[in-house]
């Protein structure tokens, strides 16, 4: 009798834990989806910039990858650094510094921003942050949750979990009543 009650309690705890995990996962995915919807692409998260690489950026970073950047001062940037910057169109992009201008307020950087190795001039004020880490896994997750199929999954998975949870409740209640 005690063994059956313990098994029932254990199964209820597992079911509640699975539902709670799915709920938290859904909240996380919805947050990511909102952060990267509408073309926003260099979001500030806990003091770091998170940028989604949507196309292969030279041979260094493949799409979809997430680039995590930190705000830095002019003096610390050097040739070879990967930076997140605001392009002429106002969109965020990434590039590799190949040459750095003077330390004045209007200094410019010469960046390689494509596979062809073309140099672009970027003003110091347009540099958002320096890339400190890349994550392919996080990039894949962000790309998925911002896709139409990802949004569908985010909407459907909690509904399925709720149906399963509600479907189990009468069976659990019946077992409980039979044991009394």
pLDDT, tens digit (0-9, with 9 covering 90-100), for 111-123: 766 666 677 788 8
Spatial contact of 63 and 139, defined as CB atoms under 8 Å apart? yes
Cα torsion at 143, 144, 146, 150 (round to 10°)?
170
User: Which tokens belong to 69?
Assistant: 């950047």
- Name residues whose C-beta falls within 8 Å of residue 13's C-beta, 6 or more positions apart in sequence: none
Res. 78: pLDDT tops 60: yes
Q: Which CATH architecture has domain 42-136?
A: Ribbon (2.10)
Using one digit for the tens of pLDDT, what is the confidence trace for 24-49? Answer: 888 888 888 887 776 556 677 777 88
Q: What is the pLDDT of residue 137?
A: 92
Q: Comparing 49 with 58, which gets the higher pLDDT? A: 49
Spatial contact of 41 and 29, defined as CB atoms under 8 Å apart? no
Q: Comparing 150 with 55, which gets the higher pLDDT? A: 150
Q: What is the pLDDT of residue 133?
A: 92
Spatial contact of 161 and 19, defined as CB atoms under 8 Å apart? yes
User: Which tokens belong to 15?
Assistant: 């079911």
């Amino acid at each position: 009798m005690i063994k059956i009650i313990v098994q029932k309690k254990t199964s209820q705890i597992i079911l509640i834990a699975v539902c709670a995990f799915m709920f938290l996962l859904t909240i996380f995915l919805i947050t990511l989806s909102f952060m990267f919807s509408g073309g926003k692409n260099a979001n500030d998260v806990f003091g770091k910039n998170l940028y989604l690489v949507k196309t292969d950026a030279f041979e260094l970073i493949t799409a979809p990858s997430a680039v995590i950047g930190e705000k830095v001062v002019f003096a610390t940037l050097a040739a070879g650094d990967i930076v997140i910057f605001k392009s002429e169109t106002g969109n965020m992009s990434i590039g590799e510094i190949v040459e750095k201008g003077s330390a004045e307020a209007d200094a410019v950087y010469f960046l390689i921003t494509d596979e062809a190795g073309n140099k672009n001039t970027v003003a110091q004020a347009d540099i958002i942050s320096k890339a400190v880490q890349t994550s392919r896994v996080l990039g894949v997750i962000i790309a998925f949750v911002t896709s139409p199929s990802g949004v569908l999954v985010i909407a459907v998975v909690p509904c399925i979990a709720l149906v399963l949870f509600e479907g189990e409740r009468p069976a659990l209640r019946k077992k409980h009543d039979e044991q009394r």
